[in-house]
Amino acid sequence: AQKVTQAQTEISVVEKEDVTLDCVYETRDTTYYLFWYKQPPSGELVFLIRRNSFDEQNEISGRYSWNFQKSTSSFNFTITASQVVDSAVYFCALTVNSGYSTLTFGKGTMLLVSP
């Protein structure tokens, strides 16, 4: 069975601060995929990134960056110079590459960015 833990329930920052959202996962499979999704107040789930277990290279996309470390089973997400529009709930998720595996989600971290 897979498990995803997002220990931070809610984070509040002021605009322009950097913020890191933590994600720790558990799986016995060697081939798996990790994801981050954003859910703004509208409710729609927005895909941000996917990483497979064989690619530990960190990724940067504009103000967003992701740090994948297999040694600590973590896939953390950093927003640099946060903006009010970053306010949302962020979900980390995991699926393994076998059978009809389904996505396992963390409970989400609500990020509030105030002006």
Partner 1 sequence: DVKVTQSSRYLVKRTGEKVFLECVQDMDHENMFWYRQDPGLGLRLIYFSYDVKMKEKGDIPEGYSVSREKKERFSLILESASTNQTSMYLCASRLTSRLYEQYFGPGTRLTVT
| 17 vs 112, beta carbon nearer partner 1 | 112
Dist. CA 20–CA 23, nearest whole Å: 10
Position 103 contacts partner 1 (CB under 8 A): yes
64 touching partner 1, by CB under 8 A = no
CA angle 53, 56, 62 (to 5 degrees): 115
- The answer to whether 106 contacts partner 1 (rule: CB under 8 A) is yes
Q: What string of DSSP letters covers 63-76? A: TEEEEEEGGGTEEE
Residues in contact with partner 1 by CB under 8 A are 6, 9, 33, 39, 42-45, 47, 50, 52, 91, 93, 95, 97, 100-103, 105-108, 110
